[in-house]
């Protein structure tokens, strides 16, 4: 994932595509949190709290940008707004989970699966939106933006629910 992020930065800089930048931000955050959850077995500390708070700030800004784009007449602003404000909710959820009493919170593996699968969905969405719209223009653009979440979301949710009981 680090290699993908390093390779994507010049492309984002050259194209100045804010939607893909937002997706890259979400993918990087989700992957980082999933990795830290697995590495520490859920014993997250100040660095992870700082990253979660940073994601909430970045998500707020991106959500506001999406609203501005939407009000400017571009329907894809909905995607940016949803992604931005969803990132705020995600960061808040992670902060709440980190602040909860370890005996009362759900197993770390559930958060890990959610974070890693979210990073994968965000990465596939960015790939589809960047490459798919150029190479398969007959497919409507909303399919590239919403397809990965609609198809993979329920699968990963079921997987996380199964492992939630396994790791109790």
Helix, strand, coil share (%) of the chain residues, nearest 5: 85, 0, 15
Integer Cα distance of 148 and 23 in angstroms: 12
pLDDT tens-digit readout, 34-71 = 888 888 877 778 888 888 888 888 888 888 888 888 88
Query: Are residues 134 and 123 in contact, defined by beta-carbon separation less than 8 angstroms?
Result: no
Q: Above 70 in pLDDT, residue 14?
A: no
Domain boundaries, the chain: 2-166
Pick the residue with more confidence: 2 or 49?
49
- Assign 3-class secondary structure to 57-105: HHHHHHHHHHHHHHHCCCCCHHHHHHHHHHHHHHHHHHHHHHHCCCCCC
Q: What is the pTM of this model?
A: 0.70
Q: What is the DSSP secondary structure assignment for residue 166, as one 8-state letter?
A: H
pLDDT tens-digit readout, 79-110 = 778 878 888 888 888 888 888 887 777 777 78
Tell me which residue has tokens 């100040």. Answer: 46
For helices 18-40 and 2-15, the axis angle rounded to 10 degrees is: 160
């Amino acid at each position: 994932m680090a290699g993908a992020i390093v390779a994507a930065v010049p492309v984002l800089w050259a194209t100045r595509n804010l939607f893909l930048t937002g997706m890259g931000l979400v993918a990087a955050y989700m992957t980082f949190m999933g990795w830290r959850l697995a590495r520490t077995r859920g014993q997250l500390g100040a660095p992870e709290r700082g990253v979660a708070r940073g994601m909430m700030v970045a998500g707020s800004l991106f959500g506001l940008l999406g609203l501005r784009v939407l009000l400017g007449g571009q329907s894809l602003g909905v995607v940016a707004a949803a992604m931005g404000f969803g990132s705020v909710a995600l960061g808040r959820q992670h902060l709440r989970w980190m602040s909860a009493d370890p005996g009362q919170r759900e197993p770390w593996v559930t958060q890990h699966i959610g974070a890693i699968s979210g990073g994968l969905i965000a990465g596939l969405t960015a790939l589809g939106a960047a490459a798919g719209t150029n190479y398969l223009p007959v497919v409507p653009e909303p399919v590239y933006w919403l397809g990965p979440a609609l198809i993979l979301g329920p699968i990963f949710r079921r997987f996380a629910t199964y492992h939630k009981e396994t790791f109790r």
